[in-house]
Amino acid sequence: MKPVNLKQLAEELGLSIATVSRALQDSHEVSAGTKERVRALAAARHYEPNAYASSLRRNQSKTIGVVIPKVTNHFFALAINGIEEAARQSGYHVLIYLTHDDYAREVAIIQHLKGGRVDGILLSVASGTEDIAHLESLTDANIPLVFFDRVCAEIATAKVTTNDYESGYQATAHLLAVGCRRIAHLLISNKLSIGRNRQQGYLDALLAHGLAPDPDLVVAGTMDNAHNLALIEDLLRRRPDIDGIFASVERLAVGAYHVCRELGRRIPEDVKIVGFSNLESVSLFDPPLTTITQPAHDIGRAAARILLQAVEKRRPVLPSQSVVLNSELVQRRSTEG
Amino acid sequence: MKPVNLKQLAEELGLSIATVSRALQDSHEVSAGTKERVRALAAARHYEPNAYASSLRRNQSKTIGVVIPKVTNHFFALAINGIEEAARQSGYHVLIYLTHDDYAREVAIIQHLKGGRVDGILLSVASGTEDIAHLESLTDANIPLVFFDRVCAEIATAKVTTNDYESGYQATAHLLAVGCRRIAHLLISNKLSIGRNRQQGYLDALLAHGLAPDPDLVVAGTMDNAHNLALIEDLLRRRPDIDGIFASVERLAVGAYHVCRELGRRIPEDVKIVGFSNLESVSLFDPPLTTITQPAHDIGRAAARILLQAVEKRRPVLPSQSVVLNSELVQRRSTEG
């Protein structure tokens, strides 16, 4: 059976389309009796309101866009769950867009979203992003924007992150406490604020413990995993004195494990490793990986709630606000002294 | 600067709104000179077509909906990448909905999507789904549906899966070949066709090797991971003679590792384990896990391509069709003889 549209309902009821539409929207301009007749027929005929027509009328799509680098990173998978939970509670839908850490793709996505497809955007910046004009243009388009995890310092809006600086400091201090002296830092990207903050924490922890930072021990990862393995192997071959590794992102910690195994460097006897990761199965690794675990679900949920409030109140420009949810150092065997 | 709308463009050009709209859509009813004037001003004024207005006009949303149980399962994360790749190539957008394996949520999502928000749906059935009326109703709503991975045998449409029966057979035969005789099967769900197919492969492999299947060795997992750990622990305590485990889904393989460790059962000396998994880091497990690895990205891409063809050709009902992409057994140390 083909579903009926508003016009067919109106004809069958002998009412105007406007009256039927108002009745279905529970308008006070329509009598209770008429509303009941309309609803009964709509139910009997399996009437489905057209989502696009409804959102055009209200000038709202009841949808938020989530723009993230990738979904295969467990942090983002968990954050999406948190975003989805908050959206569902408010009756909103979630559109997910992946940038694959590519600047041009991020620009194209934002350009598209400006066309009215979403009421607001949650964004975690691509590591390849160099210019922020596309993000600034959202203000002109009256689309509220909330950053989570990877933020843009230059844009004044709400931002939900973890305590990246403190986590970088804590990870490095932990390696120092278990006896490491030549600690390498595998950096997520020095273009990203989270990368710079984690790096600053690493540097300050070294200085606080009387060690001079060695620029040769800091390597920035790329978007290409095969290339990352080569970079890590080169580092460990060049500097056999490295006794600790702080990996700023999961895939670089995993990469360090692979390279250590290949080079016969034992973890934790020769090299101790701590890495940011939300992967549940790190406890099954050989040896289990000490992690900085981010509150990914909570970060997603908090960011979505802030965005949805702005959308509901029709406030396209959010006040500058920083929400910081703390990560946790979970000690496992990869850093055993 | 606030972006202009169609009406403002028309006023400034001294043309009707319809003419401007047709010019922007490259209609043959508008002269080349007028088109050029319209495009030049639209570019200068940063005109953005309203996505909802455009889709209402064309009665197409240029969006496909993806309904999956969860995004934290690596199989689905990789499948989304494949879906997104195909959608992007065709100029479509991807809406992702999570059922969390809950039947009521799946029904609510489908009900919503019937409102015209998407041009087609890719679906992997929730393990809690018991009735398929909501899926059958998509035909009445003229919305094409393609299943991937977890399919509904009763609904005639296109389906993209892996060779579940053969994979179950192969995993079991591999355990037999390395010396296992009492092989447990941790089943994803016997409500799902993929669960039943993998189970049938397991049973047939036992029979083909002259072993009588023992129903006591088959345990169906649930949506609750803590409960799954208790089920596996109960199984291994009750049956200390178990020397092999075939896990039909990643989280049950990971669960079996945790329980074996807790009970002091050594892998692979006491118990050998093979599990379905797309997790890249299984090679870092202690010991590395032998897996059945599904072509997740390819499954997502193939399903999306079939759906997009149907959408483009405005064929709401797809011919019954099964596309099977083969999984691969990757031997690692967890099944070493």
Query: Which domains are present in chain B?
Result: 6-49 (no CATH), 61-162+296-325 (3.40.50.2300), 164-294+329-335 (3.40.50.2300)
pLDDT of chain A, 337 residues: tens digit per residue: 456 778 888 888 888 887 888 888 777 778 888 888 888 888 888 777 655 455 544 556 788 999 999 888 889 999 999 999 999 899 898 888 889 888 988 998 898 888 777 999 999 999 888 789 999 999 888 899 999 999 998 899 999 999 999 999 999 999 999 999 999 999 988 788 899 999 999 999 999 999 999 999 999 988 788 999 999 999 999 999 999 999 999 999 999 999 999 999 999 999 999 999 999 899 999 999 999 999 999 999 999 999 999 999 888 888 899 999 999 999 999 999 8
Least CB–CB distance from A284: residue in B49, B141, B257 = B257
Search chain A and give the residue with CA nearest B74.
A72
What is the pLDDT, as a whole number, of residue A53? 52
Least CB–CB distance from B81: residue in A1, A53, A71 = A71
Rg of the Cα trace of chain A?
Answer: 26
Search chain A and give the residue with CA nearest B261.
A284
Buried b (16+ CB within 10 A) or exposed e, A239-277: eeebbbbbbbbbbbbbbbbbbbeeeebebbeebbbbbbb
Nearest-CA distance A161 → chain B (Å)? 20
Report which of A270, A90, A137 is spatially closest to residue B3, judged by C-alpha positions: A137
What is the pLDDT, as a whole number, of residue A4? 77
Q: Which two tokens stand for residue A269?
A: 């006897």
Peptide bond into A49 cis (omega under 30): no
Report which of A38, A41, A14, A13 is spatially closest to residue A27, judged by C-alpha positions: A38
Q: Residue B4 gets which letter from DSSP?
A: P
- Judged by CB atoms closer than 8 Å, whether chains meet at A53 and B56 is answered as yes
Sort out which chain B residues have CB atoms less than 8 A from A96's CB and list them.
80, 94-96
Least CB–CB distance from A48: residue in B49, B97, B141 = B141
**Cβ count near B56 (within 10 Å):** 18
User: Are B300 and B81 a contacting pair, CB within 8 Å?
Assistant: yes
- Judged by CB atoms closer than 8 Å, whether chains meet at B56 and A51 is answered as no
Terminal C-alpha separation, chain A: 70
Peptide bond into B144 cis (omega under 30): no
Search chain B and give the residue with CA nearest A109.
B93
Sort out which chain A residues have CB atoms less than 8 A from B114's CB and list them.
3, 48
- Phi and psi, residue B45, nearest 5°: -95, 10
User: Are A332 and A288 a contacting pair, CB within 8 Å?
Assistant: yes
Instruction: Write the CB contacts of A116 (distance below 8 Å, at least 6 apart in sequence).
Output: A61, B48, B50, B51, B52, B53
Nearest-CA distance A117 → chain B (Å)? 6
Q: In A197-255, where do the E strands start and end?
A: 218-220, 244-247
- In DSSP terms, A145 is beta-bridged to A121
**Residue of A4, A24, A56, A72 to mutate for B, most B C-beta atoms under 10 A:** A72
- In DSSP terms, A160 is beta-bridged to A148, A323
What is the pLDDT, as a whole number, of residue B141? 86
- Judged by CB atoms closer than 8 Å, whether chains meet at B3 and A254 is answered as no
Least CB–CB distance from A56: residue in B52, B141, B287 = B52
**Residue of A71, A100, A110, A114 to mutate for B, most B C-beta atoms under 10 A:** A71
**Cβ count near A63 (within 10 Å):** 21
- Judged by CB atoms closer than 8 Å, whether chains meet at A61 and B74 is answered as no
Can you tell me the distance from the alpha carbon of B64 to that of B308, in angstroms, rounded to the nearest whole number? Answer: 8
Sort out which chain B residues have CB atoms less than 8 A from A52's CB and list them.
52, 55-56, 61, 116-117
Helix (H) / strand (E) element for B185: namely strand B183-187
- Judged by CB atoms closer than 8 Å, whether chains meet at B74 and A71 is answered as no
Peptide bond into A215 cis (omega under 30): no
What is the pLDDT, as a whole number, of residue B317? 85
Q: Which two tokens stand for residue A166?
A: 């403190």
Least CB–CB distance from A3: residue in B49, B63, B141 = B141
Q: In chain B, what's the furthest Cα-to-Cα distance?
A: 86
- Phi and psi, residue A68, nearest 5°: -135, 160
Helix (H) / strand (E) element for B20: namely helix B17-24
- Judged by CB atoms closer than 8 Å, whether chains meet at A286 and B286 is answered as yes
Q: Which two tokens stand for residue B243?
A: 């020397």
Sheet holding B290-293, edge to edge: B218-220, B183-187, B244-247, B272-276, B290-293, B328-330
- Judged by CB atoms closer than 8 Å, whether chains meet at A3 and B279 is answered as no
Sort out which chain B residues have CB atoms less than 8 A from A287's CB and list them.
286
Least CB–CB distance from B49: residue in A48, A115, A258 = A115
- In DSSP terms, A121 is beta-bridged to A65, A145
Report which of B273, B259, B250 is spatially closest to residue A279, judged by C-alpha positions: B250
What is the pLDDT, as a whole number, of residue B97? 87
Sort out which chain A residues have CB atoms less than 8 A from B254's CB and list them.
280-281, 284
pLDDT beneath 50, residues of chain B: 1, 52, 56-57
Can you tell me the distance from the alpha carbon of B41 to that of B37, in angstroms, rounded to the nearest whole number? Answer: 6
Helix (H, G, I), strand (E, B) or coil at B71: coil
The string of DSSP codes covering A53-113 is: HHHHHHT--SEEEEEES-SSSHHHHHHHHHHHHHHHHTT-EEEEEE-TT-HHHHHHHHHHH
Search chain B and give the residue with CA nearest A85.
B98
- Judged by CB atoms closer than 8 Å, whether chains meet at B286 and A284 is answered as yes
- Over residues B242-261, the pLDDT tens digits come to 999 999 999 999 999 999 99
- Judged by CB atoms closer than 8 Å, whether chains meet at B72 and A56 is answered as no
Nearest-CA distance A147 → chain B (Å)? 20
- Over residues A165-203, the pLDDT tens digits come to 999 999 999 999 999 999 999 998 878 889 999 999 999
What is the pLDDT, as a whole number, of residue A59? 56
Q: Which two tokens stand for residue B333?
A: 């140390």
**Cβ count near B226 (within 10 Å):** 9
Search chain B and give the residue with CA nearest A251.
B281
The pTM is what? 0.80
**Cβ count near A125 (within 10 Å):** 27
Instruction: Write the CB contacts of A102 (distance below 8 Å, at least 6 apart in sequence).
Output: A126, A128, A223
What is the pLDDT, as a whole number, of residue A52? 47
Q: Are strands A272-276 and A321-325 parallel, antiparallel or unpaired?
A: unpaired
Can you tell me the distance from the alpha carbon of B70 to that of B209, in angstroms, rounded to the nearest whole number? Answer: 36
- Judged by CB atoms closer than 8 Å, whether chains meet at A50 and B98 is answered as no
Sort out which chain B residues have CB atoms less than 8 A from A281's CB and list them.
254, 279, 281-282, 285
Least CB–CB distance from B72: residue in A77, A114, A141 = A77
Sort out which chain B residues have CB atoms less than 8 A from A94's CB and list them.
95-97
What is the pLDDT, as a whole number, of residue A110? 92
Least CB–CB distance from A284: residue in B51, B96, B285 = B285
**Amino acid identity of B307?**
L
Q: How many CB pairs under 8 A join A and B?
A: 132
Report which of B33, B10, B324, B279 is spatially closest to residue B167, judged by C-alpha positions: B324
Can you tell me the distance from the alpha carbon of A30 to that of B73, in angstroms, rounded to the nearest whole number? Answer: 49
Sort out which chain B residues have CB atoms less than 8 A from A63's CB and list them.
95
Helix (H) / strand (E) element for B123: namely strand B120-123
**Cβ count near A213 (within 10 Å):** 16
Nearest-CA distance B48 → chain A (Å)? 5
